[in-house]
Amino acid sequence: MAVRLHNVSKIYGDGAARTVALDYVSLEVSPGEVVALMGPSGSGKTTMLNIIAALDRPTSGEVYVMGVDVTKLPESKLEKFRLKNVGYLFQSYNLVSYLTAEQNVALPLMALGVKKELALLRARVLLELVGLEGAARLYPHQMSGGMQQRTALARALAANPPILVLDEPTSNIDLDNASVVLGLIHVVNRLTKTTVFMATHDPDVARVATRVVYMRAGRVYDAVEPPRREFKADMERAAAVYEKLRHVDELIGL
Amino acid sequence: MEHVLLIAAGDFKARVARYVLTALAIGVGVALLVALVAVTDATRDYVERTLYKVYPADIMLYSDSINIPMYLVEELRNNAAVETAEGIILISGATEGRVVSVVGIPLRDVNYFAVDLKEGRLPASGGEAVVEESLGVKPGDILVVKVYSGASGVERTLKVKVVGVMRSFLKGFVGAFRLNLVVVPLDWLQGSIDAGPFVNTVLITVKDKAQVQPLYLALKETYRDAQVYTQQSLLDTVTKVFTALNAVFSVISGAALTAAVITTFAVMSITVRERLREFGLLKAMGISSREILLSVVVEVALIAAVAGVAGVVTGFLGANVVKDVLLRMGINFDVPIAFRPHYAALGMAASLAVALIGAVSPMYKVARLRPLEVMQLWR
């Protein structure tokens, strides 16, 4: 299993302010699955993503990510665990404002101990994957929202994580860029068997998923296989870029 | 480590103006500290060196009355431990409303105090005097001095002919050291004030410095009415004075450094608050708290290093500039201010300490930051 949640609860506050964000949720996800979490606001989608991404701890229950019970890891080890295992794409673009696109993408690799030059090399190939080969030296304020979100996706993929967590990845960008981002998620999943979790309100976005999980009031109500949408992804081009990445990874030892 | 530097450098570039102001605040405090320490050190050294020069004795026997017989001076000269013993009279007097110190010293030893002649010559016979430049007289002038210390204790009037003018000891930069010396032959002074073969001061040097303490104790025991000083006790007094001076200066520079701590705290607090989003994001990506904290420490250390170097250089140069300004204003403060390596160490240490103390609270906030809280605020 890539991820296994067993009787996971998350409760915020107490007394009158007590909020049950997750209510004994259990879920098993195999490697290579694309899971879309759908449901109204406050249904627990983001809480579930945060717990899977090891950004938050459940009140009770077990959370296994890549075979490791992340609830038992101390904070210092969780940081490294996230770095190696989870790529997180936020709703907003969330790039470091004073770093260029390639520096933003290279940062997680450098934090893993990869030399700057090699990290930047991999970053440039990843930017090519997301179609931003000409934007490597641009700062976030010099890029459009869609470019920033694609850069953020490249960064999420930087350390070659087995799990991608995407929190409403297309809600702040235009339709064209949304289509590009979804196409990239599709490509990455197909080529690398990366397990993907994404929270979304948009049923059309959910069609990139292999499984849709409906949530309400902190509970999982339904898990269905949605009709797959065919994205206009250039698989041939992406495969060529991934071939380049493999060469870089051999140099890096990733 | 490269990514830590990348984060630190990136943020530094983005906030360079603010950090320059912080460095300025720290630099001013450091400059003040270095300037005050340099001036105090230079002054103390100068006073100590001059004391050695004008008072080249290991032990001084002093009596308020002129009652130490000259034969005692001879006896002391015959003591196996004693190198030299010089009997002199040191009394105060007044001339034209100014207090003067009249020194009677044997003619053969008139240069005992390393008289620095500005013009004229040393006295060669009774009634001649070499006087300190602070009295504003010139060779050939007649000086009338009233003295009150004598064997009879009555007021006497001395009329001396100025034959030489000497530069002031310690260059007169502190009022207390402006002695207005009038140096005359001892036998003439003894005769003029009916002192007979007596002196009130004996300056003694010993052959072996290890003999200072035993001789000091023996003299104290033998001459209970007199006061006995050693060179070291005078230096201890100088040290005490400068320790007190240092305490005052410490308060002044401490106030400036405290202001620098507050400035650093304010700037780093604002910076950390502005960067909460970024720190939360970095943590969410997996960059550790330790690495993020380290990037802040690198920035603070860089600010401290720049401020420290600037402060040390400015402080040292500033002390010299202030000295020049004082001299131009007619205030005699001609003390050589030399650079010493420990000023750099002190300045850099103070700068680093100020920056780290100022940044500790904001850094604690960074260390405790939980990415999820920031991300929730961000939504």
DSSP per-residue letters across B59-86: EEEE-SSS-EEHHHHHHHHHSTTEEEEE
Count of domains for chain B: 2
Nearest CB among B6, B11, B14 relative to A103 is that of B6
* Residue B175 pLDDT: 42
Domain extents for chain A? Answer: 30-60+75-252
Domain span at residue B249 reads 2-50+238-378
Query: In the predicted model, is pLDDT for residue B150 greater than 60?
Result: no
Query: In the predicted model, is pLDDT for residue A19 greater than 80?
Result: yes
Instruction: Examine the domain organization and report whether B91 and B135 are in the same domain.
Output: yes
Domain A30-60+75-252: give its CATH superfamily. Answer: P-loop containing nucleotide triphosphate hydrolases (3.40.50.300)
Instruction: Examine the domain organization and report whether B74 and B152 are in the same domain.
Output: yes
Query: In the predicted model, is pLDDT for residue B6 greater than 60?
Result: yes
Cβ count within 10 A of residue A71: 17
Task: Please calculate the CA angle A15-A19-A20 and round it to the nearest 5 degrees.
Answer: 125
- Inter-chain contact B284–A88, Cβ cutoff 8 Å? yes
Instruction: Examine the domain organization and report whether B251 and B220 are in the same domain.
Output: no
Instruction: Examine the domain organization and report whether B133 and B213 are in the same domain.
Output: yes
Highest mean pLDDT among A231-240, B263-272, B285-294, B308-317: B308-317
Q: In the structure, what pLDDT confidence band is assigned to residue B253 with cuts at 50, 70 and 90?
A: confident
- Average pLDDT, whole number, for chain A? 87
ipTM: 0.82
Q: A139 in contact with B at a CB cutoff of 8 Å?
A: no
pLDDT 10s digits, B48-58 = 777 776 677 88
Instruction: Examine the domain organization and report whether B34 and B76 are in the same domain.
Output: no
Instruction: Examine the domain organization and report whether B293 and B364 are in the same domain.
Output: yes
Percent of chain A topping pLDDT 70: 95
Query: Which tokens in the block code for residue A73?
Result: 């890891």
Nearest CB among A55, A108, A111 relative to B372 is that of A55
Looking at per-residue pLDDT, the higher value among A141 and B333 belongs to A141
CA–CA gap between residue B379 and residue B369 (Å, rounded): 17
Among B193, B225, B257, the domain-final residue is: B225
Cβ contact B15:B327 at 8 Å? no
Instruction: Examine the domain organization and report whether B292 and B247 are in the same domain.
Output: yes
- B57 occurs within a structural domain: no
Q: In the structure, what pLDDT confidence band is assigned to residue A227 with cuts at 50, 70 and 90?
A: low
CA–CA gap between residue A26 and residue A46 (Å, rounded): 16
Question: Helices H, strands E: what count in chain B?
Answer: 9, 12
Percent of chain A topping pLDDT 90: 36
C-alpha to C-alpha distances, A247 to A111, A124, B117, B147, nearest whole angstrom: 21, 13, 88, 102
Nearest-CA neighbor of B379 among A148, A45, A105?
A: A45
Nearest CB among B278, B281, B286 relative to A83 is that of B286
* Residue B51 pLDDT: 72
**Among B residues 101-120, those touching chain A with beta carbons less than 8 Å apart:** none
Question: What average pLDDT score do residues B184-210 get?
Answer: 90
Among B225, B259, B284, the domain-final residue is: B225
- Inter-chain contact B2–A92, Cβ cutoff 8 Å? no
* Residue A233 pLDDT: 62
Lowest mean pLDDT among A49-58, B148-157, B248-257: B148-157
* Residue A208 pLDDT: 82
**Among A residues 71-110, those touching chain B with beta carbons less than 8 Å apart:** 75-76, 79-84, 86, 88, 90-92, 94, 96-99, 103, 107-108, 110
pLDDT 10s digits, B215-240 = 898 888 888 888 888 888 777 877 78
Q: Is the dihedral of CA B273, B274, B277, B281 positive or negative?
A: negative
CA–CA gap between residue A87 and residue A3 (Å, rounded): 14
Question: What average pLDDT score do residues A94-104 get?
Answer: 91
Nearest CB among B10, B371, B378 relative to A98 is that of B10
Query: In the predicted model, is pLDDT for residue B377 greater than 70?
Result: no
Q: In the structure, what pLDDT confidence band is assigned to residue B327 with cuts at 50, 70 and 90?
A: confident
Q: A220 in contact with B at a CB cutoff of 8 Å?
A: no
Instruction: Examine the domain organization and report whether B74 and B209 are in the same domain.
Output: yes
- Inter-chain contact A86–B10, Cβ cutoff 8 Å? no
Instruction: Examine the domain organization and report whether B27 and B71 are in the same domain.
Output: no
Q: Could you give phi then psi for residue A125, rounded to 5 degrees? A: -70, -40
* Residue A228 pLDDT: 66
- Average pLDDT, whole number, for chain B? 84
Cβ count within 10 A of residue B11: 23
- B58 occurs within a structural domain: no
* Residue B176 pLDDT: 44
Q: How much is the CA Rg of chain A, to the nearest whole Å?
A: 18
DSSP type of residue A114: -
* Residue B173 pLDDT: 42
Cross-sheet strand order for the sheet of A163-167 = A86-89, A163-167, A195-199, A34-38, A211-216, A219-224
| Interface with B, mutate which of A75, A94, A105, A109 (most B CBs under 10 A) | A94
* Residue B375 pLDDT: 64
Instruction: Examine the domain organization and report whether B7 and B112 are in the same domain.
Output: no
Looking at per-residue pLDDT, the higher value among A176 and B311 belongs to B311
* Residue A31 pLDDT: 92
* Residue B131 pLDDT: 92
Query: Which tokens in the block code for residue A200?
Result: 């979304």
- Inter-chain contact A111–B291, Cβ cutoff 8 Å? yes
Q: B14 in contact with A at a CB cutoff of 8 Å?
A: yes
* Residue B313 pLDDT: 94
User: Rounded to two decimals, what is the model's pTM?
Assistant: 0.68
Query: Which tokens in the block code for residue B170?
Result: 């310690």
Q: In the structure, what pLDDT confidence band is assigned to residue A5 with cuts at 50, 70 and 90?
A: very high
Q: Is the dihedral of CA B80, B84, B87, B89 positive or negative?
A: negative
Looking at per-residue pLDDT, the higher value among B173 and B120 belongs to B120
* Residue B162 pLDDT: 95
Instruction: Examine the domain organization and report whether B75 and B184 are in the same domain.
Output: yes
Name B212's Cβ contacts closer than 8 Å, sequence gap at least 6.
B58, B59, B206, B230, B231, B232
CA–CA gap between residue B277 and residue A127 (Å, rounded): 24
Among B203, B225, B247, the domain-final residue is: B225
Query: Which tokens in the block code for residue B278?
Result: 């970024």
Looking at per-residue pLDDT, the higher value among B289 and A48 belongs to A48
Cβ contact A177:A150 at 8 Å? yes
Residue type, B333: F
Instruction: Examine the domain organization and report whether B43 and B69 are in the same domain.
Output: no
Query: In the predicted model, is pLDDT for residue A92 greater than 50?
Result: yes
C-alpha to C-alpha distances, A238 to A130, A184, A232, A241, nearest whole angstrom: 9, 9, 12, 5
Question: Helices H, strands E: what count in chain A?
Answer: 8, 10
Query: In the predicted model, is pLDDT for residue B292 greater than 80?
Result: yes
HSE of B193, CA atoms in CB hemisphere, 13 A: 37
pLDDT 10s digits, A120-140 = 999 999 999 888 889 999 999
Q: How would you label A214-245 residue by residue, b for 16+ Cβ within 10 Å and e otherwise?
A: bbeebebeeeeebeeeebebeeeebeebbebb
Question: What average pLDDT score do residues A153-162 get?
Answer: 91
The Cα of B287 is separated from the nearest Cα of chain A by a number of Å equal to 6
pLDDT 10s digits, A169-212 = 887 777 777 888 888 888 888 888 899 999 988 887 778 888 88
- Inter-chain contact B281–A82, Cβ cutoff 8 Å? no
- Inter-chain contact A91–B379, Cβ cutoff 8 Å? yes
3 state DSSP class of B332: coil
Q: In the structure, what pLDDT confidence band is assigned to residue B148 with cuts at 50, 70 and 90?
A: confident
- Inter-chain contact B287–A108, Cβ cutoff 8 Å? yes
Q: A137 in contact with B at a CB cutoff of 8 Å?
A: no
Nearest-CA neighbor of A105 among A113, A95, A115?
A: A95
* Residue B145 pLDDT: 93
